[in-house]
Structure formats: C-alpha cells, structure tokens
Amino acid sequence: MKIATWNVNSLNVRLPHVLDWLTDNPVEVLCLQETKQEDSKFPYEALMTAGYHAIHSGQKTYNGVAIVSNHEMTDVLYGIPNFEDEQKRVISATIGDIRIICVYVVNGQAVDSEKYDYKMRWLDALNAWLSEELKKYPNLVILGDYNIAPDDRDCHDPAAWEGEILVSPRERDAFDDLLALGLHDSFRLFEQDGGHYSWWDYRMMGFRRNRGMRIDHILVSDALKTKCTGCIIDKTPRKLERPSDHTPVVVSLDLSNR
C-alpha cells in the first residue's frame, strides 16, 4: 500500500498536476494540503472520473486539507476535537484498518509573532489528541506539511536559519514530542543523509540550487513501522511549469502476512 502527501499550494491551480501525478503514481491514498478552496469548489467529479473518492475540509484563500483514495473512507473526522480552530487544517478517515490523519501544521510566520504562539498551542492540542487516537487506532499514519525541519540535515543552510521559523528549538521539541508518542519519521527509517528536501522557495532559484527544507513528513505508528518498506520524496512535479513549492512524499507499506 502506498500513501502520499502533497502540499499543492492551491488545488484550483494544481489539479492538472495532481491528476497527472496520480496517473503516473497510482497510490492508494493521497493527502493534500493548502487546497485554498471552499468545499463547493473542490473537484470531486474530476477525481471520481479518475477513480478516486475524496473528502475535503476547505476554506477560501487559505489552508484546506483533503484525503483522496481509491478505497472507501469511513469515520471521517474534521479538525482536532475539543480545539476551537476556524482554520481548516486537519481531516481524518479510516481506510481498511489504517487510520489516516492529514495535517497542515501552522506556519508560524516568525518566532516572535502571535502566529508562532498559535503554532505552538496548535501542536500541543495535536499531541494531546494524538495520544488518545493512538490507543484507539494502533495502525495510524499522520502525514502532511508539518512546517518543521526536524534537524539540521533537513535544512540547506542551518547556520543562516538558526533560531528561525521551521527550525527553532521549540518547534523541533514539539516534533520530537510527537515521535515520543510512538510515531516514526518514515523517511528516516531509510535515509540518514541530509540534502533531501520536500519544499524549495520559489525565489532565488531555490529548487535549481537545492536550497530547500524537509518539512513534509509521514509519521507511522509502532505497529506500522515494521511494515514500512520505503519512503521517497518525488521531485518530479517540482520540475513542471507552475509547480507547487512542495513536492510529494510517498511511503510504502507491506500489509501482507498479517
């Protein structure tokens, strides 16, 4: 089973890339972030024609998350329970016996900003909720745009970025606190080197110079860790005309022999 995540930076603009990518990469599950559209604008029909079900939680201009799958989805949940949040950043569903949680973590803008405080409160709420979800759903995958580069290997220029948003110690601690719940960064199960990124700035020829960050992650629960057979970052769509600034991350699970 292949499960992917992709921050598309407007699904309205990127739908052709998404459909083409699904044709080339027929994954069972694709989680999307930053759809930037209301549910009424979401391309359910185009995805249906391509053979995919979809669930979406969106809003105009900002945020918006979706799960696309060729399997039926059940027990759909929107947002983080008991956490008041007008921003559409979380959607969850069960596919087979796997619980999928698609997240678009707050960016935070700058470490001394109110948005950073919101990011930290948001991550606390996510952590508290997840600790309960993991008891309910041993087979759990939480994936999306975390807006955190877990360590210096995940940043093209750690010296220049020291203390900045995406790499600040409090953000990295919050990421480690998620792992401490019994989750694993699937990419790091297979690759220890730096220089592998999932986002590159549109400016300054960031992609061509590989000036990027690894901020999109697929975390798997203890029970699924042993089922992981690979995790790759697919840079292909970042080379297209008018790309998203993020590119897909794909995990492979071997769910036979269970």
Q: Which residues bind DNA (CB under 7 A)?
A: 7, 9-10, 12-13, 34, 36, 60-62, 106-107, 109-110, 115, 145, 147, 165-166, 199, 201-204, 213, 215, 242, 245-246
Cβ closest to DNA, residue 79 vs residue 182: 79
Looking up tokens 């877990």 gives 150
* Nearest distance from C-beta of residue 24 to DNA, angstroms: 20
- Distance, CA of 167 to CA of 102 (rounded, Å): 21
* Nearest distance from C-beta of residue 228 to DNA, angstroms: 25
* Residue of 116, 137, 145, 146 marked catalytic: 145
SS3 181: coil
Tokens of 186: 């699937």
- 143 contacts 218 by C-beta, under 8 angstroms: yes
Cβ closest to DNA, residue 37 vs residue 139: 37
- Distance, CA of 6 to CA of 53 (rounded, Å): 17
Residue among 43, 8, 2 at smallest CA distance from 24: 2
Asked about 104 being catalytic, the answer comes back as yes
* Nearest distance from C-beta of residue 95 to DNA, angstroms: 25
Cβ closest to DNA, residue 62 vs residue 190: 62
Kindly state the helix (H) or strand (E) to which residue 99 belongs, with its residue range.
Answer: strand 98-104
Residue among 187, 122, 182 at smallest CA distance from 149: 187
Cβ closest to DNA, residue 133 vs residue 245: 245
* Nearest distance from C-beta of residue 187 to DNA, angstroms: 16
* Residue of 52, 104, 146, 197 marked catalytic: 104
Cβ closest to DNA, residue 16 vs residue 51: 16
* Nearest distance from C-beta of residue 52 to DNA, angstroms: 21
Task: Enumerate long-range contacts of 35-41, CB under 8 Å, 24 or more apart.
Answer: 35/8, 35/10, 35/11, 35/63, 35/64, 35/65, 35/66, 36/9, 36/10, 36/11, 36/12, 36/60, 36/61, 36/62, 36/63, 36/64, 37/10, 37/11, 37/12, 37/64, 41/12
* Nearest distance from C-beta of residue 238 to DNA, angstroms: 11
Tokens of 120: 């930290």
DSSP-derived letter for residue 109 is S
Cβ closest to DNA, residue 28 vs residue 245: 245
Residue among 238, 236, 220 at smallest CA distance from 228: 220
Residues marked as catalytic: 104, 145
